[in-house]
Structure 1
């Protein structure tokens, strides 16, 4: 079901498990030009139900949700509502997740630390049928497209599922199992299962080997990002 809104107003819904972030988004949307607040959801299951009841003009999805990866939610909603534009949001640098988000079906990727004017521009852009990523990321994607190669490197890390990649990134940040569980709102046992699956895909036997590799990988990503600034 689609609730009608004035032609010049974009109805925005938000999926985020943090109460303060949800309220912040609500206030931001309500005070932004030509935007209207539709609803909020705290997890993927609630979001699926609410989208079915009231499809917004644009859906904003946090990548880290307690019941499922936000990217997996985007994939499912893309099949159910192919015309509904979605924007992925995260605390992580877009170089880590933007391409995964676009591949999943999002029309944009915005970091939570972005200025409000960037968030507003992104919402209007995807509502109009465009794609919202930074200029740097746009150039990287265009270069990969023009060269005929995927922008995402074909290595073992690219084989990780979206949730496994979230865990891998947090391992690279030096987070403990308990801290990862808290950050992703999942149990420590679930984190351990993800770690085991990651080790299998990366061909590693020991947890220490995974931690060392993830930290080195994260340092390499930071070095590459700093060089491009």
Structure 2
């Protein structure tokens, strides 16, 4: 080494080695879906999947242990509701960014998700097109909804007199959750246990749902709920 020259600092990391990939938690009750999402995320050099979970309990444990920067959460976690997980994360003060996935139309669940504390919403069949963009956008402190419906969502927020686009939109968040569970085949007792409410409260919700949807019998309610749930799953292909 010539006089006056400085030895290279071998301890100094290169820019590439010092770059930390942002950690993403995947929450979906279907392993195959998680595998597909992980494949998409793994292709991005700035992101990595730090953990996967199939239930609210598993997700909360992963958040505590891994401290992810973001979570991608499916609304339907078996008999659990992903929005309950979103609300719990916010109530407990976790500051990670949250992207909600759903097989249902954004006009139905998009605003509900954002009200629960999510930072973005993507329909499952659009995940290939928008997932990575959505994750980067929410990590950057912005809100994401897919372009095809963003104008509709903004319009519904600004227009206080806007009418619901369907009878389903008239249901409250709790009524919609009861309706979804009815569609999965659960009866009153199991719904009450799942939601930690009384049988009487479930019956009241069922009555109000029938009134809002123009249904007369319990059988009609079950068929309608199952059909709605099946239609949403079919759209995701």
Task: Mark the runs of 5 or more structure 2 residues left unpaired by the alignment.
Answer: 1-16, 193-198, 233-237
Corresponding residue SS for 2:77: coil
> Partners of 2:60 and 2:26 in 1: how far apart?
12
Q: Equivalent residue for 2:86?
A: 74
| Kept in 2: contact 1:141–1:151 (CA 8 A) | no
Root mean square deviation, CA, Å: 3.5
Pairing partner for 2:208 from 201, 223, 229: 201
**Bigger Cα displacement from structure 2, 151-160 vs 138-147:** 151-160
Distance 2:80 2:28 in 1: 12
Partner of 2:104: 92
8 Å CA contact 2:107–2:153 kept in 1: the answer is no
**What is the CA-CA distance between 1:52 and the residue it aligns to?**
1.4
Structure 1 distance, partners of 2:159, 2:188, is: 42
- Seen in structure 2, the aligned counterparts of structure 1 residues 151 and 48 have a Cα distance that, compared at 3 Å, is farther
Q: Answer yes or no: is the 8 Å Cα contact 1:13–1:38 preserved in 2.
A: yes
Residues 210, 221 of structure 2: 8 Å contact kept:
no
Whichever of the two has the greater Rg, that structure is 2
Question: What is residue 157 of structure 1 aligned with on the other side?
Answer: 171
Q: Does 1:25 align with 2:37?
A: yes
For 1:38, the equivalent position in structure 2 comes to 50
TM-score (norm 1): 0.71
Q: Is the 8 Å Cα contact of residues 152 and 158 (structure 1) preserved in structure 2?
A: no
Pairs aligned (count) = 201
Aligned to 2:27: 15
Query: Matched residues in 2 for 1:212 and 1:135: separation?
Result: 33
Task: After TM superposition, give the deviation of residue 115 of structure 1 in Å.
Answer: 4.7
* 8 A contact 1:99–1:152 mirrored in 2: no
**Aligned mates of 2:43, 2:91 — CA distance in 1:** 31
Q: After TM superposition, give the deviation of residue 60 of structure 1 in Å.
A: 0.6
Partner secondary structure for residue 158 of structure 2: helix
Q: Aligned-pair distance for 1:22?
A: 1.4
2 CA distance for matches of 1:10 and 1:151? 40
The runs of 5 or more residues in structure 1 that have no matched partner are 171-179, 223-229
SS in 1 for 2:50: strand
String of CA shifts for 1:76-97, please: whole Å, max 9, x gaps: 0012234211011122222221
